[in-house]
Structures are given as structure tokens and as C-alpha cells.
Amino acid sequence: MQRKHVLALALTGALVSVGVYAQKGVLFNDETVRGRAADLAATPAQRALSRRASQFVAQTKAPAPISASLAPPIYSVTEDEVYDVDSFGRYVKWLGLTSAFIDVQTGCEKPTSPDQFCQELNPTVGASTAFNFQDAARIKLPKGASNSILCYWFSPVLMYTWSNPTAARVTGRLNYSPTLTIENPVLADPSLIDPTTGMPFGGQLMTSMTSSERFSESLEPGVILSERQRDSTICMAGLISHKSLIQNYGLTPAQADDFFASPTTVRLNVSGNLQYVSDAHFVFGLRIVGD
């Protein structure tokens, strides 16, 4: 049985944390605060950046002809009423499932599949171990897969062991932060400028997700404590949408139309670090839906 199928079965069961003192909270890192995540509505500063990017495009290139167009609204609703007018009333389209299996431990074995990753644990007592895996999992969508929005369902399963081998009380820490790299041929236009970097998109953009988490545990001397966490997040404004391409990234309506008419690849990246953890095993499930 493939590991992705195992994940699909595993996610049907509820996994309960046994940590009484573990603290969990959403991490709003600098990328999220600046509004880089398309999952959040555009801030006034972000809209100003996208206008500057649009002006740059207008000065350097003639408008591209529209090769596709957004489907007309199904219902007569306004942005003030529902915000997301483009997808309002449309059925959800299931657009694929993928997963990444990440271990942080001593003695990494050779991966047996392209979605399996391992980071060697820092052997120094009390030292932090960082991990960063790009393109840990991916979904490749054909052209025209969705009308106006791509949305994620992110389902992590976390299994880890706190360990304090010292003679003093310490605080164990674990955090992770997922991001998504979105590849689309429309973004290969060198005149298109990513307002969050000031550089050409180069065929792709990266968006953070409102799915980062951090955990901490107060550990008495000699304590070993295993925990298992099961959590899920569902996007709000979308990992990318017709609206966000215009408001957040400065594309013209015609370019946003062409984006959704083109094939798109979504790649999951996961980074983080841990301290006073003797081993950790993560399963990150990613499902994409559209309209």
C-alpha cells in the first residue's frame, strides 16, 4: 500500500494530544504580517504595492490579449456582501491530494520514496535542530482546473518525544512553518514584478500559509514524554485567487484570466526547528480544491 493511501486512512481517525502542559499557537511570521499570504485579504499597503507593480507592467509592456475569461457570476451579490464574488455559489472541485513524510532523528535512513525526508538530530545536548525541506510534496494541475480560486486543506499529524537528559528544568520547543510555491507559465513574463520582492516572478511565487504552529513544554530533569498531535486548517481567501493575483501581486485582469487557464503546480515547503526533542515524525497532508 502506498504511503499516500496510508495517510488518507490515518486522517479518518482522531488523534489526541497527551501533553497537559504543551502550549500551541499560530505563528504569524513576518511574511504573514506583511500580507504575503494570499490566504488573507489584501491590506491597504499590499494593494499599494500591487498598483505600483501594475504601473510598471503598463510602462514596459503592451497589454496581453485575453485568451480566457473568468466565468460570469452565478448570483447577483456584491463584494461588500460576500467578499468572494467570483466563487460564490459554485461547487467545490476536488483537485488532488499529496503528502510529505518528515523525520527528525538520529540515524537517518535512505529515503524509499520521493515524499520521504529526514534531518539528522543535532547531537549536542540542548542544541536546536533546524530542518528545511523545499518541494516536499506537490500537486500538478492541468490548465483550466479551477475557475477563480485554489484553496488548501492542510492536515498535519505530529508525533514527537520531549526529552530532558540534564539535571535542571528546561523548556522544550518545537515549531514548523509551511509555505507553498506556485508555478504558472503566466508568471514567466519577465516584465511581471513580484511586489513582495521587487524582482520578476521568474515563473513562480511563494505564499505563506496561516498554518504555522509552535509547541513548548516545561521538562523536569530526566523527563521523557511522547506526544501525538492531529490538527487541520482550511484556507480563507485561498492560497491563490483571481482577486489576489490582481490585488496582491499586480497582475492585470487579463493576466489573472490566463493564469487560471494555464497549468499550475503547487509545491509544499516545510521548515522549522526543535529543541529537547529526541525524535520527531511528521506527516503533512495537503489537499487542493477549487471552484
Indicate the pTM of the whole model: 0.76
**pLDDT for res 60:** 44
Concatenated DSSP letters of 195-233: TTTTEE-TTEEEEE-TT-EEEEEEE-TT-EEEEEEE--E
Q: Could you give the C-alpha distances from 120 to 1, 53, 102, in angstroms and in order?
A: 27, 42, 11
Could you give the dihedral angle defined by the CA atoms of residues 152, 153, 157 and 158, in that order, rounded to the nearest 10 degrees?
50
Higher pLDDT, 51 or 286: 286
Q: From residue 260, how far is each of 10, 28, 30, 82, 241 by CA, in Å?
A: 32, 28, 28, 22, 9
- The Cα–Cα gap between 47 and 49 comes to 5
- pLDDT > 80? residue 39: no
Q: What is the mean pLDDT of the chain?
A: 81
Look up cell 486522517; give the residue: 11
d(CA 2, CA 113): 10
pLDDT tens digits for range 228-257: 998 888 888 889 999 999 988 999 999 999
The per-residue pLDDT for range 272-283, each reduced to its tens digit, is 999 999 999 999
Over residues 193-214, the pLDDT tens digits come to 998 889 999 999 999 888 899 9
Longest pairwise C-alpha distance within the chain: 69
CA contacts within 13 A on the Cβ side of 30: 1
pLDDT at 192 over 70: yes
What's the CA gap between 173 and 214, in Å, rounded?
Answer: 7
Relative to beta strand 93-105, strand 116-120 is parallel
Residue 73 in this model has a pLDDT that exceeds 80: no
**Spatial separation of the C-alpha atoms in residues 157 and 7, rounded to whole Å:** 9
